Structure 1
Amino acid sequence: MDLKISNCNNFFKIKGTLNKDNLGVFQSAFKNIFEKVQALIISIEDVDSMDRFGVNALTELHKEAIAKNKNLSIIGLGCEDLYNHFKTEMAA
C-alpha cells in the first residue's frame, strides 16, 4: 500500500506503508514543519508497516522537535517497529 498523509491544522494522519521507496513523501510533508507549528500530533494508527528508513525519519523528526523546543506526539497503535525503536533508545 502507498503512503498517504492527510492533515488538519497540526494533526497529521499517516496511512499505508512508510518505507525507503516513499520516504520523500514523508519528508516533504514535514519539511520545516516546526517553523509553522509549536505542537505536532502524528497518528500512526493506520500505518501497516515501516522499515528502518521510516523509523529513522520519525526519529529525526523527534530529534528536531527536541532541538527546537517543540512538542511532538505520536499516537495510535500502528506499527510496532516504531515503539520497539523508542523503547530500546529509552532503555539505553
Structure 2
Amino acid sequence: MALGILEQNGTFELQGSLTTGTTRSFIIHFEHIINTVKNVTVNIDKVNTIDASGVDALKTLIAIALRSNNVFSVVGNGCKDIYDDYRSAVGA
C-alpha cells in the first residue's frame, strides 16, 4: 500500500503504510520540508502499517531536524507497531 501525505493547518498527515517500499521517498520529501520549515509536525493517526524501516525513517528525520536546529514532531496514535518498536528499543 502507498503512503499519502496531506498538509492541513501546518500538520502533515500520513495515510497508509510507512514501510521499506515508501521510506526512501518519505525521507527525501520531509528532508526538503525540514530545510524550509522550522517546525514540522507529522500526524500518524492514519498510518495502518509501519515496519522497522519506517521507524528508522522517523528517527532519521528527527536527527536531520536536530542537526539543522529545527523541530520534527510525531503526533497521533498511529498503529501499535510503532509503540512496540519504541518500547523494545528503550527496554521498557
Task: Give the structure-1-normalised TM-score.
Answer: 0.81
Structure 1: runs of 5 or more not aligned:
none
The 3 A distance-change label for structure 1 pair 63 and 89 is: farther
Partners of 1:55 and 1:81 within 8 A in 2: no
- Aligned residue for 1:32, secondary structure, equals helix
For the aligned residue pairs, the C-alpha RMSD in angstroms reads 2.1
The 3 A distance-change label for structure 1 pair 77 and 4 is: same
Alignment of 1:56-67 (within 5 A): 56-67=56-67
- Judge which range, 1-10 or 49-58, deviates more: 1-10
The 3 A distance-change label for structure 1 pair 66 and 31 is: closer
Task: Give the superposition deviation at 1:89.
Answer: 4.9
Query: Distance in 2 between the 1:72 and 1:10 partners?
Result: 12
Query: Distance in 1 between the 2:89 and 2:66 partners?
Result: 15
- Judge which range, 65-74 or 82-91, deviates more: 82-91
- Judge which range, 40-49 or 64-73, deviates more: 64-73
Alignment of 1:6-25 (within 5 A): 6-8=6-8, 10-25=10-25
Corresponding residue of 1:70 = 70
Structure 2: runs of 5 or more not aligned:
none
- Aligned residue for 2:54, secondary structure, equals helix
How many residues of Structure 1 are paired with residues of Structure 2 in the alignment? 92
Corresponding residue of 2:5 = 5
After superposition, what is the alpha-carbon deviation per residue over 1:19-54, rounded to whole angstroms, capped at 9, x for unaligned? 111223312321322220110010000000101111
- Aligned residue for 1:31, secondary structure, equals helix
